Amino acid sequence: MGAARNNESSPLQIVLGSLASNSLSGYNDSKSSTLSTTQPHPSAIHILGTSYFASPRLAALQSPVKKLNKDGRIYMEDRKGPFDHFRPRSLLVSTARVTSINTATALSTFFSDQLNYEQKNEELVDSGKITPREADKLNEEWERREWDKRVEALPGKIGWALLRFHACTGIMRFYEFVMGRYILKVDVASRALVGDGGVGGTNSTGPSDSAFETMDKLTRDPFLSSKRTAQILQNEANILGKVTSSTGTETTAQRELMRRMFSTCLWANIIPFLAELTVQQGVLMYGYGVYYLEKKRRMRSREHNQKLAGDLDLEEESKDTETGPVNNEWDENEDSDKVVHESAYALSFFFQSTRLSIAKCLGWISASAGGAVGSGIYPGWGAVFGTQIGDTVVGALIE
Q: How far is CA 287 from CA 273, 291, 357, in A?
A: 21, 6, 17
In this prediction, residue 65 carries a pLDDT of 34
Closest alpha carbon to 228 in 370, 58, 74: 74
Amino acid making up residue 220: R
Long-range contacts of 198-203 (CB under 8 A, 24+ apart): 198/45, 198/49, 199/40, 199/44, 199/45, 199/48, 199/49, 199/58, 199/59, 199/64, 200/38, 200/39, 200/40, 200/45, 201/59, 203/59
Q: What is the DSSP letter of 73?
A: P
Question: Under a CB-based contact definition with an 8 Å cutoff, are residues 341 and 299 in contact?
Answer: no
In sequence order, the 6+-apart residues with CB closer than 8 A to the CB of 154 are 102, 103, 106
> How many CA atoms are closer than 13 Å to the CA of 310, on its beta-carbon side?
6
pTM for this predicted structure = 0.71
Answer for the pair 64, 37: CB distance below 8 angstroms, yes or no: yes
Cβ-based neighbour number of residue 40 at 10 Å: 19
Closest by Cα among 256, 184, 263 to 222 = 263
Largest distance between two CA atoms of the chain: 118
- Which pLDDT score is estimated for 240? 84
Cβ within 8 Å of residue 282, ≥6 positions away = none
User: What does pLDDT average to in each consecutive run of 10 residues of the chain (399 residues)?
Assistant: 43 39 40 40 34 38 46 81 90 93 92 94 91 92 94 95 94 95 82 48 61 92 93 89 86 93 96 95 92 85 76 54 48 48 84 94 96 95 93 83
Instruction: Looking at the chain, list the stretches that DSSP marks H as alpha helix, in order from N- to C-terminal side.
Output: 2-7, 11-16, 18-21, 42-48, 56-60, 88-127, 132-178, 186-196, 209-218, 222-236, 253-268, 270-310, 314-323, 329-332, 342-377, 381-398
Coil vs helix vs strand at 334 = coil
The Cα 269–Cα 391 span in angstroms is: 11
Burial class from Cβ neighbours inside 10 Å (0-12, 13-18, 19+) for residue 35 reads buried
Rounded Cα distance between 124 and 131, Å, is 8
Cα separation, 312 vs 302, in Å, equals 16
Residue 141: phi and psi, rounded to 5, are: -65, -45
CA 245 to CA 394: how far, in whole Å? 30
What's the confidence (pLDDT) of residue 21? Answer: 39
**Of 260, 280, 284, 283, nearest to 272 (Cα)?**
280
